[in-house]
Amino acid sequence: MIIKTKFDVGDTVFPIEKTSVEDWVSCDFCGGTGKITGRNDKERGCPECYSKGKRQRFISTPQVGMKTTIVRMDIVCGNRVEEYYAGKNGAYLSQKDIFSSYEEAKEECEKRSKETHYS
């Protein structure tokens, strides 16, 4: 059986990297309290901001091209997940975070920066 993946081993890919910036905003899920109240009036830590009451913004930046050395694929809850090992940083990259050209990676970063990414 031959399974087609987005990239092959040895392909040059351009990942995008998500980095945090020092830009904190009040958590809109808990209203900045860090807590949510259940119907039985019990309080729990907010799952969106991990009880901090504020969330940190992230930005995406395109990276230089690097060759893939390992491709792995899995089925998680019925969805196909492809991950690629590339470069020398020792981490697998998700299919949704790598592109075939720097321009494509840059374009996706610009698109993602218009949306708001918070921790």
Closer to Zn ion at the Cβ: 13 or 27?
Answer: 27
Q: Which helix (H) or strand (E) holds 22?
A: strand 12-26
Summary count for the chain: helices (H), strands (E): 1, 8
- Minimal distance in Å, beta carbon 37 to Zn ion? 12
Cα–Cα distance between 49 and 30 in angstroms, integer? 8
Q: Give the count of residues interacting with Zn ion (CB under 5 A).
A: 6
Helix (H) or strand (E) segment spanning residue 73: strand 66-76
29 lines the binding site for Zn ion (CB under 5 A): yes
Q: Is 24 in the site for Zn ion (CB under 5 A)?
A: no
Q: Which stretch binds Zn ion (CB under 5 A): 8-16, 26-34, 56-64, 72-80?
A: 26-34
The answer to the question of residue 27 lying near Zn ion (CB under 5 A) is: yes
Site mask for Zn ion (CB under 5 A), range 43-62, x = bound:
---x-xx-------------
> What is the torsion angle, in degrees rounded to the nearest 10, for the CA atoms of residue 39, residue 45, residue 49 and residue 53?
90
Give the binding site for Zn ion (CB under 5 A).
27, 29-30, 46, 48-49
